[in-house]
Each structure stands twice: as structure tokens, then as C-alpha cells.
Amino acid sequence: MYDINQVRADFPILARQIYGHPLVYLDNAATTQKPRQVVEAMVDEYYNVNANVHRGVHYLSQQATDLHEASRETVRQFIHAKSTNEILFTRGTTESINLLAFSFGEAFIHSGDEIIVSTLEHHSNIVPWQMLCQRKDAVLKVIPMNDDGRLDLEAYEKLLSEKTRLVCCTHVSNVLGTLNPVHDIIRIAHEHDVPVLIDGAQSVPHMSVDVTALDCDFFAFSGHKVYGPTGVGVLYGKENWLDRMPPYQGGGEMIKNVTFERTTYNALPYKFEAGTPDYVATHALATALDYLTALGMENVHTHEQQLTRYTLQRMSEIEGLHIYGQDHNSVISFQVGNIHHLDLGTLLDRLGIAVRTGHHCAEPLMRRLGIEGTVRASFALYNTQEEVDALVEGIQRVAKMFG
Ligand code: PMP
């Protein structure tokens, strides 16, 4: 069913040699590689279709517009949103969250209000809320994490109050790989009439996501982590919230009428999309999502779960290797003895193995774990058991060097 060799053949970069070794790319949580189909969609559009979208009467503009809007429909179907009005194109998860922090903040956050985030957040789901709290004299509250790397739901329930205006939580941790109980987090927030943003940057590439079934109010993800191009992402928002939120940026496209006295705004989703969108990237993102759909998200998920289990089992053979957290969804963070994560990462690189080291843009989580950083291996649909074997052998070689 899932022909890994055929899949790998779609990703030309995987044939590269690094320092004389076959590339073992295990930094997929930072960004994924691109299949030929995605790159070719971009080249084809630039060579054969390119024209600015939406305002053109001419053939190419209409064709580019059709591709761009069809991409919105592809995204809608992929995350099971009800309407394309709920799909806003952004530059990525970070911009999606900043858009929300600005716009939701303008409409709904006042002095003394509270916003809840979790210990497991990436900086991009912390700092925009901190900045909003500073602007509005609001208060940031944090869901604590248990020692097993899971969020403390009892403590979460106690944090919610009549002052809570929004809960922001990641779907899957980019550091530990923890799949958060977002169904419960959303249900509990809704019992208090509080909306929820889910950061889906690390879930959308690895599992099928249904925002309507989740009933989240907002959901963000990045194109480049889901085999699409850089510079494009998505903010999903329920229409009843987006309708009541002001525009994020002003400019072309987001207006209905402009006079020097007053401007009226465009309908959803365009109200939130000022300026020329990256219509080539949106089309390429849709091509990436079509690629995933053709493979089957269930197959991708099963493949990566098997690979993760295999890695955990192989890593248990390595003396002194400590894995952080207890729930791993295509992400494993670890340290080996007292070898500095930077040394381990650098030496693995010399063997052609790309992993990420450091705090992974989650300094508060590092502080909670009492460490400065980890080595992180993160998987994609094209990784193999042989690559995991190479990682394990690489770690053993480095460990031997350090005695
Ligand atoms: N949230 C999570 C959970 C992430 O893993 C990342 C990327 N590492 C981001 C947000 C930010 O994504 P981007 O840099 O694509 O905006």
C-alpha cells in the first residue's frame, strides 16, 4: 500500500550525499522537504500562468485566480472546515497567530482580561499573546505540565475564570511530540464560553485533522512543514468570530470602498488578506495537500507511528540516552549522558544526519524540564528504518568518542 521507495523518489533532495554519506534528514519538525510535484507546480505557474489575482479581466489573471481560490477549497477540504470563508491565507503559523492576536485583541481583549497558553508552546504561541497583554494590560496564564510531559488538565480547569477570553494551545508539541488532549481542552473552554486557538503546525503534517469535529474556534498551520513551499500558511477561524474581528492589515484587496473619509471592508476571507497574496505558494500548498491525500493521511500516520516506535525501541539500546516526555508523535527529543546537545548534533551532521539541537523555540518548556536544550529527531513520510539505524549507529559512535 505504502511504497516508501516510490515516495522517496518524489523527493530529489533525499538522493544527496553530505560529507560523503547519504543524507539522513531528521529535521522535519523544522521544515519538510518538497516533492517534485510541488516544485513543478510552482515552476509551471511562473512559466505559464503568472498574473496578479482577483482584479484582472484578462485570461491569465482569471486562471491564476481560479488556481488560488481552488487552493482555498483544497485547504478547506483537507482540514474539514465548513466554508472557504473560514480559510485565511497567511505567511505561516507565526503570522496566523499574530493576525489573531492583533485582530481578536482589538475586538475582545480589555484591561484585566486573561489569556491562557500552555507550558508546551512554541515561542510563536507565547510572544504574540505577551505583546497583546502588554498593549491591553491583560494577563497571561499558563497551563502547567506534569513530569511525564502531559498537560495538567485539572490545573487548566482551575485557571479558567470569568475573565478568561481565549485559550491557546498546541496540538502536538514540537519538542516532546506530545499529542495534547485538545478535544478536552476545547470542550472545557467552551463550557466557560471561551474560544480556543489550536496551533496545528506539528499535527497537520502527521495526522488527519478535522477542525469542525474538534470544534476549535481558530487553527493555524504552516505550508512549509507540510511538504508545501515556504512563505504560506493558514489561519482557520469560525465565521462568527472572524465576522466580528477587525482587519489585521490595510491595503488593496481587503476593501469594499475607499474614500478619504471612510473605508468599508471586503467580505470574508478577503477582509484579512491585504495586498497581493503569494498565489503561487497557495497553489503549491494545495498541490502538497493533494499529494498527502493521494498517499492517504492514515497511511502516512501509520508509517510514522511505526517509525517512531522503532526508534524508541532502538534508542532504548543506547546507554545513557534519555528521552524527554512519554508521548511521541513523529518527534523525539533526547540527550545522551553529559554530551552537549550541540556537540552531538554537530558530529551527527558529519555523518550526514540532520537533526536539530537547542531549545527548539520553547525556552519556557526547557526551563520547566530544567535543561538548556535537547537533540531532536523528527520524522516525515519519507523516512525509513534504515535511517533510524544510521541515527542509532551515529549516536553510538559519538558516545564512544566521548567515552
Ligand atoms: N508552532 C509550532 C508548534 C511549531 O513547531 C512552529 C515551527 N517550529 C511554529 C509554531 C512556527 O511556525 P512558522 O515558523 O512556520 O511560522
Instruction: Give the Cα separation of 377 and 308 in Å (integer).
Output: 10
DSSP assignment of 146-181 equals: -TTS-B-HHHHHHH--TTEEEEEEESB-TTT--B--
The closest alpha carbon to 35, from 261, 224, 271, belongs to 224
77 shares a domain with 10? no
Domain termination residue (choose one: 244, 269, 293): 293
User: Residue 310 is which amino acid?
Assistant: Y
Q: Looking at the structure, tell me whether residues 384 and 372 fall in a common domain.
A: yes
If asked whether residues 249 and 127 sit together in one domain, one would say: yes
* pLDDT (tens digit per residue) in 242-276: 999 999 999 999 999 999 999 999 999 999 999 99
For the chain, what is the largest distance between any 2 Cα atoms, rounded to a whole number of angstroms? Answer: 74
Q: 93 C-alpha vs ligand 1 centroid, how far in Å? A: 6
Give catalytic status of residue 361 as yes or no. Answer: yes
Any ligand 1 atom below 6 A from CB of 90: no
Amino acid at residue number 219:
F
User: For residue 250, what is its C-alpha cell?
Assistant: 490595510
Q: What is the pLDDT of residue 403?
A: 83
Ligand 1 in reach of 203 Cβ (< 6 A) = no
Name the closest-CA residue to atom 7, ligand 1.
30
Pocket mutation for ligand 1, best pick of 123, 178, 225 (most atoms within 8 Å of C-beta)? 225
Q: Is 201 in the pocket of ligand 1 (CB under 6 A)?
A: yes
Is residue 85 in contact with ligand 1, taking CB distance under 6 Å?
A: no
Same structural domain, 243 and 315: no
**Residue 271: domain span:** 39-293
Amino acid at 262: R
Report the alpha-carbon distance of residue 389 to residue 401 in Å, rounded.
18
Residue 223 Cα to ligand 1 middle (Å):
10
Looking at 293, 326, 361, which one is the last position of a domain? 293
Rg (CA), the chain: 22
Selection from 234, 169, 183, 185 nearest residue 205 by Cα: 234
Q: What number of H helices and E strands is found in the chain? A: 14, 17
Q: Specify the CATH number for the domain of residue 183.
A: 3.40.640.10
CATH code where residue 365 lies = 3.90.1150.10
Same domain, 83 and 232: yes
Any ligand 1 atom below 6 A from CB of 222:
yes
Based on the fold, state whether residues 23 and 69 are members of the same structural domain: no
200 shares a domain with 147: yes
The cell numbers describing 258, all together, are 475607499
Q: What is the pLDDT of residues 275-286, one digit of tens each?
A: 999 999 999 999
| pLDDT, position 174 | 98
Q: What is the pTM of this model?
A: 0.98
| Pocket perturbation via mutation, ligand 1, pick of 32, 91, 94, 209 by most ligand atoms within 8 A of CB | 94
Q: Is 109 in the pocket of ligand 1 (CB under 6 A)?
A: no
Using the atom order of ligand 1, give the atom closest to the CA of residue 171: 3
**Contact indicator for 372, 359 with CB cutoff of 8 Å:** yes
Domain match, 288 and 300 both: no
In single-letter form, the type of residue at position 191 comes to E
Residue after which a domain boundary falls, among 262, 293, 324: 293
C-alpha cell at 104: 481578536
- Structure-block grid coordinates of residue 282: 497557495
State whether 22 and 47 are in the same domain: no
So what's the pLDDT on residue 74?
Answer: 99
**Nearest-angstrom CA–CA distance, 84 and 71:** 10
Q: Do residues 220 and 334 both lie within one domain?
A: no
Active-site residue, selected from the candidate residues 133, 168, 216, 361: 361
Q: What atom of ligand 1 comes closest to residue 91's alpha carbon?
A: 16
Closest among 268, 263, 211 to 242, alpha carbons compared:
268
Q: Looking at the structure, do residues 16 and 121 belong to the same domain, yes or no?
A: no
Tens digits of pLDDT across the chain (403 residues): 789 999 999 999 999 999 999 999 999 999 999 999 999 999 999 999 999 999 889 999 999 999 999 999 999 999 999 999 999 999 999 999 999 999 999 999 999 999 999 999 999 999 999 999 999 999 999 999 999 999 999 999 999 999 999 999 999 999 999 999 999 999 999 999 999 999 999 999 999 999 999 999 999 999 999 999 999 999 999 999 999 999 999 999 999 999 999 999 999 999 999 999 999 999 999 999 999 999 999 999 999 999 999 999 999 999 999 999 999 999 999 999 999 999 999 999 999 999 999 999 999 999 999 999 999 999 999 999 999 999 999 999 999 999 8
Task: Provide the residue type at 384 as one letter.
Answer: T
- 285 phi/psi in degrees, rounded to 5: -60, -45
Cell output for 317 = 539500546
pLDDT of residue 55: 84
Query: Structural domain tally of the chain?
Result: 2
Indicate the SS3 state at residue 236: strand
Residue 199 CB–ligand 1 contact under 6 Å: yes
CA 259–ligand 1 middle distance (angstroms): 39
Residues 245 and 337 placed together within one structural domain of the fold: no
